[in-house]
Chain A
Amino acid sequence: MINECFAIYLRELLILRRKFWRQVASMSVSPTLYLIAFGFGMGKNFDVGSRPYMEFLIPGLAAMSSMIYSFGIASEINVARFYWKIFEEFQASPVRNIAFVAGEVLAGMTRSFMAVAIILAVGFISGVKLHYGIFFWTGIFLNSFLFASLAVGLAMVVKSHADQALLSNFVITPMAFLGGTFFPMKNMPEIVQKILYFIPLTHASSVIRSSAYGDMPDKASVLVLLFLGIVFFIIAFRVVHLARD
Chain B
Amino acid sequence: MDNIIEIKNLKKKFKKVEALKGINLNVAPGELFAYLGPNGSGKTTTIRILTGLSRATSGTALLNGKDIEINRIESRRQFGLVPQVINLDPELTVRQNLDIHGRLFGMKKSDRKERIEALLGYIDMSDRSESLVKHLSGGLKRRVMVARAMLHSPRIIFLDEPTTGLDPGIRRKIWSLIKKIQQDGTTIFLTTHYIEEAEFLAERVAFLEKGEIVAVNTPASFMEKLGSWAVDILGEDGLYTEFFQSSEDANRFIASGYEGFTKRRVNLEDAFIAITGKKIGLSGNGNVGSGIKEL
Contact = CB atoms under 8 A, between A and B. Distances in A.
Interface in A39-92: 84-86, 88-92
Interface string A92-105: 11111000000000
B49 to A, nearest CB: 9
A95 to B, nearest CB: 6
Interface in B101-140: 101, 103-106
B81 interface: yes
A10 B103 contact: yes
A84 B73 contact: no
Given A94-B74, A94-B77, A88 B103 contact: no
A245 interface: yes
A86 B101 CA distance: 11
B83 interface: yes
Interface stretch (B87-95, B228-236, B257-265): B87-95
B283 interface: no
A239 interface: no
Given A18-B92, A86-B89, A244-B54, A92 B81 contact: yes
A244 B92 contact: no
Contacts of A191: none
A18 B90 CA distance: 11
Interface string A8-26: 1011001100110000000
A187 interface: no
B51 interface: yes
B48 interface: yes
Contacts of A7: 100, 103-104
A15 B89 contact: yes
Interface residues of A, number: 25
Interface string A205-226: 0000000000000000000000
Interface string B65-96: 00000000110110101010111111110001
A6 B48 CA distance: 26
Contacts of A84: 87, 89-90
B43 to A, nearest CB: 15
B104 A90 contact: yes
Nearest to B88: A86
B76 A245 contact: no
Interface residues of B, number: 29
B54 A4 contact: no
A60 to B, nearest CB: 33
A93 B92 contact: no
Contacts of A19: 91
Contacts of B55: 244-245
B53 A245 contact: yes
A89 B52 contact: no
B12 to A, nearest CB: 8
Contacts of B85: 85
Contacts of A96: 73
Nearest to B100: A11
B158 to A, nearest CB: 9
A89 B77 CA distance: 13
Contact of B92 (A3, A6, A14, A94): A14
B87 A88 contact: yes
8 contacts: A8-B104, A18-B91, A18-B92, A85-B83, A88-B83, A88-B87, A96-B73, A244-B54
Interface of A: 3-4, 6-8, 10-11, 14-15, 18-19, 84-86, 88-96, 244-245
What are the 3 tightest A-B residue pairs by CB atom distance, in nearest-first order?
A7-B103, A245-B54, A85-B87
Given A85-B87, A93-B76, 9 more contacts: A3-B106, A10-B103, A84-B89, A86-B87, A88-B83, A89-B104, A93-B105, A94-B76, A94-B105
